[in-house]
Amino acid sequence: MAFGQPRIEYKSNSEILKMREAGLVLAEALDEAVAKAQPGVTTAAIDKVFAKVLERHGATSNFLGYHGFPATICASVNHEVVHGFPSEYELKDGDVLKIDGGAIVNGWHSDSARTVLVGKNIDPADQRLSDITEQAMWAGIAAAANARFIGQIGEAIDDFVTSQPGDELGILEDYCGHGIGSAMHMAPDVLNYNSGHRGPRIKPGMALAIEPMLVRGGIETSVLEDDWTVVTNDKSNASQWEHTVAFHMGGIWVLSAHDGGEAGLAPFGVTPSPIRP
């Protein structure tokens, strides 16, 4: 603790490279989990696919056993926002599934999430919800590339979401991104909205999980009796997208994206900078 604030962990380039290894394993595990997410498939089966990829690479899950969490992914369906348990629930055509997972390689963590629109009968409003959430994530990451303070990430996400034409989407305020590195959840918090606070200064060696969560209705949520699953009170559908991002002297690098964030950042005029071993 310093001046009453949690200490922020700053990584060396070699440590960021280790986090990149975890990020690439995680990206592959999410690829296979997303491909498995089809009508009739249980969310428990998707969890098993994800776990097998980690096992194949000698990685471990940072979700399994975390404060008693029982699985390697969070599988949240429709109005479930985050932290849903994989179960024998069979996905249906048109479901909105959020898959949130993590990986540890040699003690270094990565965390990433994707929204999957299941099947072919997709509600255009759900497609819009997922698209805007994903683009808002990239808007936040792009802003971070040139930002001085953590609070500017939330400002950029908020500005992007509220500037979209059409029905207003809600930005959840009770759940946010976080620092990551030698542990999954670390300082600082990364808010997804404009709080009016600038937060800590962004410095080389930081690594952040940036993860906006948007809803089609109100932002009020509750936690189910399992003490984990977060749901919208008005039963409106939700979307979550997340990447692990590192900052170094050469720039910004999206550790949990196969291409380091090149495609996602290009529309914002930002080019990621990989660290070379």
Residues marked as binding for substrate? Answer: 83, 185
> Which residues are part of a known binding site for a divalent metal cation?
100, 111, 178, 211, 242
Q: Give exposure, 12-32, as e/b (b: 16+ Cβ within 10 Å).
A: eeebbbbbbbbbbbbbbbbee
Give the C-alpha separation, 46 to 52, whole Å: 10
* Nearest-angstrom CA–CA distance, 132 and 111: 20
Inter-residue long-range contacts of 146-150, CB under 8 Å, 24+ positions, other chains counted: 146/270, 147/202, 148/198, 148/201, 148/202, 149/198, 149/199, 149/200, 149/201, 149/202, 150/188, 150/189, 150/190, 150/191, 150/198, 150/199, 150/200, 150/201, 150/202, 150/208
Binding residues: 83, 100, 111, 178, 185, 211, 242
